[in-house]
Amino acid sequence: MGKRTVLKKSVTGIRIFSYSVFTFVMIAGLTLAVNITFFILLALQYHQVMPRYIKGEEVIEELTPTQDGYRLSDRMGSQLDEKGQWAMLLDETGRVVWSHGRPEEIGDSYTVSDIARMSRWYLEDYPVYMRVWEDSVMVVAIPRNSMWKYSIEFPISWIEYFKRIWYWMLLFDFLWILTLAVVFTRRWSKTREQARIEWIAGISHDTRTPLAVALGYADALESGGRLSGEERQKAAVIRHQCMVMKELIEDLNLTSRLEYSMQALRMEEVHPAAVLREVAAAFLDDAGEGTLEIEMDPDRQAEGIVLMADRQLLVRALRNLFHNSLRHSEQTDTTVIRLGLRDEKRFCRILFADNGIGYSDEMLRQLNGRKSRQPIQNIRGLGIVCRIVQAHGGQTVFGNGAQGGSFCEMRFRKRRKKVSYRDNTSLQHYTID
């Protein structure tokens, strides 16, 4: 078994163990929470469930000393009978001097130890309650198996300690429950996000094959010589629209994956000045004569910056900015695009500006992440620019130039990674974090 296999297995084992511990803690926490709720509910129900028994003091109030001994009111006597209770009065020697409904097995004389025992627990399995009345003791019993009695005691120091910490315990409970809630919510929401991404990916997958057929035939009709000029024009429109749909699908997929951080970034060393030149050159090649002018303005220091980034995504962001500028430029003039690169103390800034119609206030609000008062406008391509930069830990700022046109500033935080790798240049390597 190779080293890698062993490592892989142990990593898998740790992962399974972590999941098990997590599951255990979750179940224990949930059980505790359920129990606490149950006990709270039980306490709330206590008074409704607990039968109302007659206490010793109530009997004493209805007991009148007479010449023959004692006399209980008829009302109290019938109430005791009704509830299955009985009562007796012991004098200072422990002898029964009065009783009502006393069962036969209950004796008529009690020692001090008998009285001490029954005061805590039971008398012949009858739960009893005692009340001192002058020199006598009133004993009132309730039916057998109707009450559980146990004496509980705590050291005062413990009570004092509890008084000091009870609010911390409450706070801990609260935080624990909150954590559980957050964890469950996040898991639930992640499942939903995953389902949404998969749904979008599935739809786009299913759409691409029929689109490939439509695009293929439209292109063949357009470039073939069998159609008339007008028909060829129609085929060109179909081909163009297929390409638009292709871009839409790609954008939708990329947006959803970037939104939920599902897009794995292929980080590599990227020379932003070279990327800017590459994208600009491609657009300049494709543009018609005199329709596009590009002004490059990277500062000398920024020329040497090397970033750790996903090259393809950076190219995509720049392409989207170019597309947007070309689409929304004043048709009568040449589109002028200014590209800049700045090396600042903690940031590397890529500047993109054009001489187009600029952004509306509403678009700027949306692009710069402020709350919008109107429904989201169509900022798909520029939205992807924002998400790509954010995925690299950077920031975007969109705005309109003072002299007209619009600008976009992509700011990447840089972190020094290593020294230059060639002696004859002063390259600086940064990684986007």
Partner 1 sequence: MNLHEHKIMIVDDEPALRRMVREFLQEEGFGQVVTAGSCREAEQVFRREHPHLILLDVMLPDGDGFMLLQKLHTESEVPVIFLSARDEDENRLRGLGLGADDYVTKPFLPRELLLRVGAVLKRVYRIRDNADEKKVIQLGDCVADLRSGVIRRKNRPECGEKKEREPEAGKESGRENSPEEVQTTEVTLTAKEYAILEKLAANRGQIVTIDALCEAVWQDGSYGYENTLIVHIRRLREKLEQDASRPKHLLTVRGLGYKLV
| Residue 193 binds to partner 1 (criterion: CB under 8 A) | no
Residues 407 to 426: which contact partner 1 by CB under 8 A? Answer: 421-422, 424-426
Which one among 43, 49, 112, 264 touches partner 1, defined by CB under 8 A?
Answer: 264
Residue 86 corresponds to which amino acid?
Answer: W
Is the sign of the CA dihedral 263, 268, 273, 278 positive or negative?
negative
| Residue 274 binds to partner 1 (criterion: CB under 8 A) | yes
# chain residues binding partner 1, by CB under 8 A: 45
Neighbours of 27 (CB within 10 A): 10
411: Cβ contacts below 8 Å, ≥ 6 apart: 347, 348, 349, 389, 394, 395, 396, 397
Output the 3-class SS for 180-245.
HHHHHHHHHHHHHHHHHHHHHHHHHHHHHHHHHHHHHHHHHHHHCCCCCHHHHHHHHHHHHHHHHH
Residue 248 corresponds to which amino acid?
Answer: L
Nearest to 275 by CA among 323, 307, 300: 307
**Closest to partner 1 by CB, 26 or 201:** 201
Angle 348-353-355 from CA coordinates, rounded to 5°:
175
Strands 86-90 and 96-100: antiparallel
Which one among 81, 231, 295, 299 touches partner 1, defined by CB under 8 A?
Answer: 295
Per the CB < 8 A criterion, the answer to whether 307 and 348 are in contact is: yes
CA distances (Å), origin 208, targets 246, 247, 264: 7, 11, 22
Neighbours of 69 (CB within 10 A): 9
Work out how close the CB of 276 gets to partner 1 at its nearest, in angstroms, rounded to a whole number: 9
**Closest to partner 1 by CB, 303 or 362:** 303
**Closest to partner 1 by CB, 147 or 427:** 427
In 164-174, which positions are buried (b, 16+ CB within 10 angstroms) versus exposed (e)? eeeeeeeeeee
**Closest to partner 1 by CB, 21 or 274:** 274
Residues 202 to 241: which contact partner 1 by CB under 8 A? Answer: 204-205, 208-217, 219-220, 223
Which one among 8, 117, 266, 418 touches partner 1, defined by CB under 8 A?
Answer: 266
**Which span (48-56, 165-173, 277-285, 390-398) binds partner 1, by CB under 8 A?**
277-285
| Residue 280 binds to partner 1 (criterion: CB under 8 A) | yes
**Closest to partner 1 by CB, 226 or 371:** 226
**Closest to partner 1 by CB, 132 or 274:** 274
Angle 124-128-129 from CA coordinates, rounded to 5°:
160
Work out how close the CB of 330 gets to partner 1 at its nearest, in angstroms, rounded to a whole number: 23
Residues 336 to 375: which contact partner 1 by CB under 8 A? Answer: none
Which one among 83, 102, 232, 246 touches partner 1, defined by CB under 8 A?
Answer: 246
**Closest to partner 1 by CB, 109 or 241:** 241
| Residue 8 binds to partner 1 (criterion: CB under 8 A) | no
Q: Which residues bind partner 1 (CB under 8 A)?
A: 201, 204-205, 208-217, 219-220, 223, 242, 246, 250, 253-254, 257, 264, 266, 271, 273-274, 277-278, 280-281, 284-285, 294-297, 303-304, 421-422, 424-427
